[in-house]
Amino acid sequence: MIKVDRLTKRYGRTVAVDEISFTVEKGQIVGFLGPNGAGKTTTMRVLTCFLPPTSGGATMAGFDVLKQPLEVKKRIGYLPEIPPLYPEMEVAEYLSFVGRLKGVSKSNLARRVDEVCGLCAIGDVRFKLIGRLSKGYRQRVGLAQAIIHNPDILILDEPTAGLDPKQIIETRELIKELAKVGEHTIILSTHILPEVEQTCEKVIIINKGKLVATDSVENLTHRLRGAESISVEIESRNGELDLSEAQRRLEQIPGVSRVILKDNKGPRAAFEVESLEKHVVRGDVARAVVEAGWNLNELRPVAMSLEDVFLQLTASDAETAAAGGAQ
């Protein structure tokens, strides 16, 4: 459905997107993951024919973004980072306007507006001015706008950015719902790792304009879960805690690769324990602490930051390459 081929986009001297290639099959929900400035928005703007690529290209639903932009535009729905809304319009009026612009026929228009209002749960504000809506509603009107013409492909740029936790959950549910109901192929960008795990089937990771990895979400979580890092806080029951003793005991647990002291105040100390790939050490850590006669105040997995993900992915890629070379 989407085929991106060595796509490059430069702004003057900055290379925003550097020779990335990937494909997306029909009906997939794909997460486009990368930190700020990675080139997500730029890529999406090329895919939606808003910007021409500097070199390379892309085909959307079988049409080339450079040669047949009108055909591409008919088949995509796009929600930019900031929803493109007209505050002086009423919701239903706005959706009708966008519908007509995207080629919904006059006879189908009212029905489509009803349908998307229902899907996006904005029926109760359809006669309100967009300028008066809350952020969550605006985002949903933005989504409704993107699907009004029932496009083959939906492109959503950070659809949950700036929303509160409840709205984020609602929006994610809505996106999953859309994938089911409309059989759309969806690309959504995000800089939040768990978002991809919760919403998407496939993930494309980019950093500084370069493709880092494309994989199914299942494989990716597997690769990342391999090595885990947990935060442990222990407390001695009688006076000062013997730090070196604690460190030694933690390091002796099978499967632990590294123990780092994070904090120490009187009888309390916090460590970060990293485990080897495919070892689950949480239970052993808990037992070791209790057996030594200390209190276990806290034990939780450390959420992996995107930076860690990149480090790990690039490192494991390098390892595989090295292993391949050695064979």
Partner 1 sequence: MKNIWVLYRKELKSYFSSWIAYLLMAFFAVVFGYFFYAATAIFVSRGMQAMMMGGMPMDMNEWIVRPLLMNVSVIGLFIIPMITMRLFAEEKRTGTIELLMTSPVRDYELIMAKWLSAVTLYAAILAISAVNLTYLFVYGEPDWKPILVGYLGLLLQGGCLLAIGTFVSTLTRNQIIAVGGTFAICMVLWVIDWVTAYDSSTWAEVLRYLSVVTHFEPFAKGVLDTKDVVFYVSMIFFGLFLTARSMESLRWRA
Phi-psi region at 13: left, alpha or beta (left = phi > 0; alpha = psi -120 to 50): alpha
Q: Which of 101, 243, 260, 290 binds partner 1 (CB under 8 A)?
A: 101
Minimum distance of ligand ADP from residue 165's CB (angstroms): 22
Cβ distance to ligand ADP smaller for residue 40 or 202: 40
* 15 lines the binding site for partner 1 (CB under 8 A): no
Interface positions, 23-42, toward partner 1 (CB under 8 A): none
Q: Which residues form the interface with ligand ADP (CB under 6 A)?
A: 11, 14, 16, 34, 36-42
* 57 lines the binding site for partner 1 (CB under 8 A): no
The tokens of 302 are what? 């450390």
Separation between Cα atoms, residue 121 and residue 141, nearest integer Å:
9
Q: Do the bridges between strand 76-79 and strand 153-156 make them parallel or antiparallel, or are there none, so unpaired? A: parallel
Q: Do the bridges between strand 29-33 and strand 185-190 make them parallel or antiparallel, or are there none, so unpaired? A: parallel
Which residue's structure tokens are 């809505």?
Answer: 174
Minimum distance of ligand ADP from residue 235's CB (angstroms): 42
How far is C-alpha 220 from the chain's CA centre? 13
Separation between Cα atoms, residue 269 and residue 232, nearest integer Å:
8
The footprint of Mg ion on this chain (CB under 5 A) covers a number of residues equal to: 1
From the list ligand ADP, Mg ion, partner 1, none, partner contacted by residue 42 (C-beta under 5 to 8 A by kind): ligand ADP
The 37-66 site mask, x for binding Mg ion (CB under 5 A), equals ----x-------------------------
From the list ligand ADP, Mg ion, partner 1, none, partner contacted by residue 56 (C-beta under 5 to 8 A by kind): none
* 74 lines the binding site for partner 1 (CB under 8 A): yes
Question: What 3-state class would DSSP assign to 62?
Answer: coil
From the list ligand ADP, partner 1, Mg ion, none, partner contacted by residue 70 (C-beta under 5 to 8 A by kind): partner 1
Separation between Cα atoms, residue 54 and residue 44, nearest integer Å:
14
Q: In residues, how long is the chain?
A: 327
